[in-house]
Amino acid sequence: YDFTHALLRAPSQSVTQGLRDGDHDGPAYDDVLREHTAYAAALRSLGLAVEILEPLEDYPDSIFVEDPALVFGEGAILLNSGAPSRAGEVAEIAPTLERLFPQVLSLIEGHVDGGDVLVTPGEVLIGLSARTDQTGAEALIVALAQLGRKGRVVATPAGVLHFKTGCGLIEEETVAVVAELDDDALFGGMRRVIVPAEEAAGANLLRVRDTVLVGEEFPRIRDLVEAHGVTTMALPVSAIGKIDAGLSCMSLRW
């Protein structure tokens, strides 16, 4: 999480039509824009160089750049979303990644959404989900090996969109998890901080350098993180929450 760079994409007007589980209304464009602007400002305030790509009207969920690719300082991996309406996003972001990274690999088969991938200091966890299948996860392990990283496939509990909808790194050895992910085998012995059920939507927190970004409507999570001696920064997330997104989804970081 000692990132120096972040890549974002500005929300399109079509973000109001973003995918969501359930038939509730989507967010207002202005509200999403406000949250996106605050997020970009927060990353800059933590010292990151932030590049913001142009909005893509054809792709309502394209603000969530975390899903079509996975990046490390040494290279990027283009993924293949399991959501048909998002499949075209990877071709849109590929030229930028070719410009920014020394090598760009591709998933050769199957489906993976970046939201299912948690990078821990020791390994890269790939959660199976409605978006990420076994074939894609295995193809990702091959690509990760080319970048000198070890990947491991884990299960995402039913009802959790993406693996990282339910967890986020607090520090090297500590991960915040929803109760469904409170499993020693999943996290290879890392310490787990269980997020209270009424704040489960806030488990998708984001460690950036010395700070953990947490949604402002999740005060108990902020207290738990601060109790671990890590500074938190509260950010508005209620609009992006309406389309099932949290703080990790809006950037690629390296």
Q: 206 by DSSP, 3-state: which?
A: strand
Choosing from 36, 111, 167, 249, the catalytic residue is 249
Cβ(207)–Cβ(190) below 8 Å: no
Sign of CA dihedral 56, 54, 75, 165: negative
Which residues in the 120-179 window bind ligand CIR by CB under 6 A?
A: 162, 164-165
Determine if 243 is a binding residue for ligand CIR (CB under 6 A).
yes
Annotated catalytic residue 162: yes
CB nearer to ligand CIR: pick between 181 and 229: 181
Cβ(77)–Cβ(32) below 8 Å: no
- Find the binder of ligand CIR among 67, 89, 171, 199 (CB under 6 A): 67
Q: Which of 11, 25, 20, 96 is nearest to 57 (CA)?
A: 11
CB nearer to ligand CIR: pick between 86 and 207: 86
Q: Which residue is nearest to ligand CIR (CB)?
A: 115
Q: Which of 213, 177, 181, 182 is nearest to 195 (CA)?
A: 177
CB nearer to ligand CIR: pick between 164 and 207: 164
Element (H, E) at 196: none
- Find the binder of ligand CIR among 101, 201, 244, 252 (CB under 6 A): 244
Cβ(195)–Cβ(203) below 8 Å: yes
CB nearer to ligand CIR: pick between 67 and 199: 67
Annotated catalytic residue 228: no
Binding residues vs ligand CIR (CB under 6 A) = 18-20, 61, 64, 66-67, 83, 86, 114-115, 162, 164-165, 243-245, 248-249
Q: Which residues are catalytic?
A: 162, 249
